[in-house]
Amino acid sequence: MRINVTVNGRQYSSDVEPRMLLVHYLRDVLGLTGTHIGCETGVCGACTVLLNGEAVKSCMLFAVQVDGQEITTIEGISQDGQLHPVQQGFWEKHGLQCGYCTPGMILASIQLLKRNPNPTEEEIRHALVGNLCRCTGYQQIVEAVQWAAQKMRGEI
C-alpha cells in the first residue's frame, strides 16, 4: 500500500505491506534508527514517538495507520543544531547510562511538559510509567525532566 507520511517535517512516500509495524518502517525503511525496539510487546516504551504531537508506542501501530499524518522521532526534536531542552536536561543531569531507553524517555517527557509545564516529581514518575530503564534507577531521569521543565519555563 502506498502511504504518505511526514516524519520530522519531511515528506515521505513509501510502498509498505499492511502488516509492517510503524517502528520497523521508521528504522528499516526510513533509516531513522534513533527509535529503539525493546520488547516489541508494548511494555517498555523504547519505541515511543509522537503521532500528531501525542506520545504513542510505534510497535503498537501499523505504518499504514499513519498515512497522511505527522510523526516526530528523536531525530527531529533538536532545532538549528540546538538540543531540545529535554535533551539538554538528560545531558546536564546524567539522565542516561546505556541510552537504550533514552529516545522513548525524551519523547514521553516532551509529551508530559506540553500538557503540564510544571509537574511535581510524582507527576513526572506517573507520566513515565510506560518507559522502562534498566540502568539509571530513574532518579536522574526525574531530575532531567525537572531541569527541562525549569528551562522551558525560562527559569534557567
Partner 1 sequence: MFPAPFEYYAPKTLQEALSLLAQHGENAKVLAGGQSLVPLMKLRLSTPAVIIDLNGIAELRYIREEGNYVAIGAMARHYDLETSDLLKRLCPILPECASHIGDVQVRNRGTIGGSLAHADPAADYPAAVLACEGEIKVVDTDGKERVIKATDFFVDLFTTALQPNEIITEIRIPAFAPKTGSAYLKMEQLASGYALCGVAAIVSLDDSVIQDVRVGITGVAPKAYRATGVENALKGQAFNPKTIEQASELAADGINPLEDIHADAEYRAHLAKVLTKRALLKAIERAKV
Residues making contact with partner 1 (CB under 8 A):
1, 17-21, 40-43, 45, 48, 54-57, 60-62, 64-65, 67, 108, 111-112, 127, 129-131
Counted residue by residue, the chain has a size of: 156
- Backbone dihedral angles phi then psi of residue 71, each to the nearest 5 degrees: -120, 140
C-beta separation of 74 from 35 below 8 A: yes
Interaction between residue 99 and ligand FES (CB under 6 A): yes
**DSSP 3-state helix, strand, coil percentages of the chain (rounded to 5)?**
35, 15, 45
DSSP, collapsed to helix, strand or coil, labels residue 12 as strand
Interacting partner of 135 out of partner 1, ligand FES, none (Cβ under 5 to 8 A depending on kind): ligand FES
Interaction between residue 145 and ligand FES (CB under 6 A): no
Smallest distance from ligand FES to CB 80, Å:
27
- Backbone dihedral angles phi then psi of residue 64, each to the nearest 5 degrees: -60, -20
Residues of span 52-71 touching ligand FES by CB under 6 A: 57, 59
Interaction between residue 96 and ligand FES (CB under 6 A): yes
Residues of the shown chain interacting with ligand FES in the complex, contacts defined by CB under 6 A: 37-40, 42-47, 57, 59, 96-101, 133-136
